[in-house]
Amino acid sequence: MAREQFGVCAEPSLHGYYLLFNVLDDKNALIRQALSRLPAMFEKYADRFSEANLTGVIAIGANYWDEFYPKARPKSLRAFSEIKCDDRIAPSVNYDLYIEVRSDRADVNHIVAGKVCELLSGGVELVEQVRGFRFLDGRDLTGFVDGTENPKGRHRREVALLTPEQDEQFAAGSYLHIQRYRHNLNLWNRLKVKEQEDVIGRTKIDNEEYTAENKPETSHIKRTNLKDAEGNSIEILRQSMPYGDMKIQGLFFVSYCHSPEPFENMLKSMVEEDELGNFDHMLKFTQAETGASFFAPSLNILAELAI
């Protein structure tokens, strides 16, 4: 049975290091070899620093997939398409590779991210690097707890991973979407707490969900809590982390799912207006600066690359 990469469903950690690369021309063979060795490298450091709970994820960009693995393509893998409505924009940026390193130690992440760059050197250009951190009790920098309604326990796997019935060849793989959001915290912090709570749809300190009748149509929760035709919740597994320094702050948004559709529909519902003109008012206070889609293949597919 195919095994998933351990970072996909891992529980939240204290620190994250996200690396985004583009592959140089004619370097596909080198990249395949290097990526096939990465899971063993993650395991080695997870062992060496066993208290750090290190996990990693390797994912391949939608536009790079066919060069990387010409044999076959995950059935629903498609590029991130930009969405625009009035002054709200969810831009699309091309990246060939995504490497996520997460653990409870920033120093261990630093060492492992360095090893990743070393292994890939000569074959890639590092286009972006983001260091995420846990903020207070799992809050976004807006001060609201992020991740409460994430799937829990075994259900994380059901949401995030492809089953053999869904895609036999790519079972245990996962569709990944990322967006780097930059917050306007000056503007956000000018709101009263009740106004912020109306934007999110939950209370700030106690993190309680608004009742259905009190939840504004423009709240983030309302825009993203979508139902299918049978009334079941449509879900994604969010592994986002706050990032920033004293100049720039935001959320590095990360979503894993067995299909790209849930993320795509949620994002549309946030950015585009519904028939009554509602959109996600959180977007008045944060701006996506990047957006990309990837596929995180199973460990079995990564191992096969070495052959």
Residues with active-site annotation: 146
Which of 21, 98, 144, 243 binds ligand HEM (CB under 6 A)? It is: 144
Under the criterion CB under 6 A, does residue 253 sit at the interface with ligand HEM?
A: yes
CB of 148 to ligand HEM, least distance (A): 4
- Cβ proximity to ligand HEM, 35 vs 237, nearer residue: 237
Which of 12, 147, 151, 216 binds ligand HEM (CB under 6 A)? It is: 147
Q: Which residue is nearest to ligand HEM (CB)?
A: 149
For 251, the 3-state DSSP assignment is strand
CB of 41 to ligand HEM, least distance (A): 31
Q: Which contiguous run of DSSP H or E holds residue 21?
A: strand 15-23
Q: Are 276 and 217 in contact (CB under 8 A)?
A: yes
Q: Which residues contact 111 (CB under 8 A, 6 or more apart)?
A: 45
CB of 144 to ligand HEM, least distance (A): 4
Under the criterion CB under 6 A, does residue 252 sit at the interface with ligand HEM?
A: no
For 31, the 3-state DSSP assignment is helix
Residue bearing tokens 């620093």: 49
Residue bearing tokens 């490298």: 41
Q: Are 64 and 23 in contact (CB under 8 A)?
A: yes
Under the criterion CB under 6 A, does residue 257 sit at the interface with ligand HEM?
A: no
For residue 223, how far is the Cα from the chain centroid?
18
- Cβ proximity to ligand HEM, 21 vs 243, nearer residue: 243
Which of 93, 130, 221, 296 binds ligand HEM (CB under 6 A)? It is: 221
d(CA 120, CA 38): 10
Under the criterion CB under 6 A, does residue 216 sit at the interface with ligand HEM?
A: no
d(CA 18, CA 126): 11
Rounded to a whole number of angstroms, the CA Rg of the chain reads: 19
CB of 149 to ligand HEM, least distance (A): 3
Size of the residue set binding ligand HEM (CB under 6 A): 23
Applying CB under 6 A, the residues found at the interface with ligand HEM are: 140, 142, 144-149, 179, 181, 200, 202, 220-221, 224-225, 236, 251, 253, 263, 266-267, 286
